[in-house]
Amino acid sequence: MSSKNGTGRHQERRRHPRFPVVDGMIEPITISFSERDKKLPAILTNLSAGGMSLILFLEPPRAPRLDMVLNLPGLEEVAIQGKVVRVNAKSQTYNVGIAFTKISRKHQDRINGMAEDHGDCETRITLRLPEPCVENCRFHWLCAKPQKTPHARWRAS
């Protein structure tokens, strides 16, 4: 969400910065809606410490709560509870916004760190700095940018 500030520029209103799950790619996940214990495949498009956006191919059930296990590089087996806050239908797909109602502080901090490093990387690329990819990047696991460089701690032995 954004709104125009006095300068005519858009200002971010979200409490948590978000990032694309995999730049230029999408990540499949399965979510379980608690009310019916129904599992649906979904495509995770972006993530923040406060929620996520995903694409479903079936209309989501009207459930008061949903349970998910997030399994991404750097975020393995993260149990999350959330609620649907937005559904935009287009043809046979549904863009769904989910606000997290239960996620550990440790995982919120990790997601915030990944979002921060992603934003810093975008800034370095925009400024055309010679080395946009840094050694301690917490987003490195999910990065698919052409500027990505291998780091010693992530290289296979």
Digit-coded pLDDT (tens) for 96-117: 999 999 999 999 999 999 999 9
Q: Across the 157 residues of the chain, what is the mean pLDDT of every consecutive 10-residue run?
A: 48 60 59 68 88 88 82 84 92 92 95 91 90 85 80 46
pLDDT in the model for residue 22: 52
Position 111 in a domain: yes
Q: Between vectors from CA 83 to CA 82 and to CA 89, what angle results, nearest 5°?
A: 125
Structural domain total, the chain: 1
Structural domain for 90, as ranges: 10-144
pLDDT in tens, 37-50: 677 788 888 899 99
Does residue 2 belong to any structural domain of this protein?
Answer: no
Q: Would you say residue 4 lies in a domain?
A: no
1 assigned to some structural domain? no
**Which CATH number goes with the domain that contains 56?**
2.40.10.220
Query: Which three-class secondary structure state does DSSP give residue 157?
Result: coil
CA distances from 84 to 26, 32, 53, 63, 98 (A): 20, 12, 10, 8, 5
Position 114 in a domain: yes
SS (H, E, C) 39-82: EEEEEEEEEECCEEEEEECCCCCCCCCEEEEEEECCEEEEEEEE
